[in-house]
Amino acid sequence: MYYQNIVSGNDTPDGMTGVQLWISCVENIISGNTIERQRKPGLFLFACCTTLASSMPRTWNRGIGPLNWNHVESNRTDECSDGALVTSGDAPDLPIEWPRAVGNCLRHNSFIKNRSNGVIITSRKKAEGEVPPSPSIVGTIAEFNVVRDAMTAYHAANQVAATVFRRNHAYFWYPVGLSPGPLVAFQIDDEKATAAIELNSVEGKTGTGDKTIIEVQRGPLPLAEPLKKELR
């Protein structure tokens, strides 16, 4: 287990990922780092839980690897795939019997010009015909952050519950990417998932509200018109 470490004051340009918490990371602090031009997410927080049955080879990513109570504050990411990714590597064919990631906090960070999401919280997709299990990621708090110029600013995706998006800013000033999809400030993929979304602000390219931006979307995103025509 990687426990109560501090990663602070680093500058990580032009790489794969800026700072990564990878399997069994508890009560760590990531603060005051500058991350630029990464191929993958600028901040990558990963939990896992996979089998250690005797029939399985001893390979990496096996066993129980919680991601609990880590604190990510006052970092800046520029031009990454996602600004921050909180995720869990659950196997697609095994049940999720308890949360792998609990109580992680992202606060006072700036996520600028990321190619997909500013902040994304996600695990595996629900399997076809599967009775909804317990969520894999619970109690993530994102507050006082700035996301500027991403396709989706704040995104709670698969197997996520009890998420707090509070007092964040989502600015859409310059276009990012060539996707025909709409710009979304707060996206909750599972419309039944618990999520508190409160006291946030959303700006368009003129520095005020913009009707072309979807401020809060619960459930699947509507398709953009160019994509609808292509599918027809």
Any residues with CB less than 8 A from the CB of 223 and at least 6 apart, and which?
Answer: 181, 231
Which DSSP letter does residue 208 get? S
The list of the chain residues with pLDDT below 70 reads: 51-62, 129, 132-133, 178-180, 222-232
Q: What is the value of pTM for the model shown?
A: 0.91
Query: Taking a C-beta distance cutoff of 8 angstroms, is the pair 124, 135 a contact?
Result: no
Return d(Cα 93, Cα 224) in angstroms, integer: 32
Q: Which two tokens stand for residue 132?
A: 């909804």
Number of domains in the chain: 1
Reference 69, options 110, 120, 108, 24; nearest CA is 24
Return d(Cα 189, Cα 181) in angstroms, integer: 15
Q: Which domain holds residue 182?
A: 2-231
Write down the pLDDT at residue 1.
86
